[in-house]
Amino acid sequence: VCSSDLDFASINPGNFHARGGDRVNFPAGIPFHRPASMEDPWPYKGKTNYLFPHDHGYQYRGYFLNKEKRPTFMYRYGELAVEDFFEDVLEGDAGAFFRRTLTFSAPGPQETFFFRVASGKQVASPGPGQWQVDRLQLNVPQGNKPHVREGDSKDLLLELTLPRGKTVLKIEYRW
């Protein structure tokens, strides 16, 4: 393991620690869920829950690399096939950000579920399709109904009801 100032991680046997001061943490747990009510806690892996996330309808299906060697992760949520791709984008003076593209393939119309886009202490919407979650700025498609779940940590959720076929959802994460 190299220890220069350019390292992005410190790796020791059994440990991985990201380096740098400009990190953004995504919410722990699963991205999609059908809570019985908005007050229900969002599922995450407990110390003794060895079936997680399979017990919530998830199945990891691997990944494939594009020509730039960037991975697209594949998994299933119930009968939905999901492809999840992150790309870094450099936009001149606007700086760099991540664009996340989720491609859903549904064999038939889907029951409504929620996508937990971000989580933090403060959640606000400065404009249509724009959200501020702590220091993270998000651009989300305006065709999906957003919800803010209150609590110690607030969640930005998108309500999704997918038709049969392919649906593409693109979200930009800036900080």
- pLDDT (average), residues 13-30: 68
Tally of CB atoms within 10 A around 14? 5
Q: Kindly tell me if the per-residue pLDDT of 2 is higher than 70.
A: no
pTM: 0.83
Tally of CB atoms within 10 A around 175? 15
The span from the CA of 43 to the CA of 46, in Å, is 9
CA dihedral 126, 131, 136, 139 (to 10 degrees): -110
Q: Kindly tell me if the per-residue pLDDT of 9 is higher than 60.
A: no
Three-state DSSP at 168 gives strand
R_g over Cα of the chain:
17
Give 81: exposed, middle or buried? Use CB within 10 Å, 0-12, 13-18, 19+.
Answer: middle
Mean pLDDT for the chain?
86
Least confident residue range of 15-29, 52-66, 75-89: 15-29
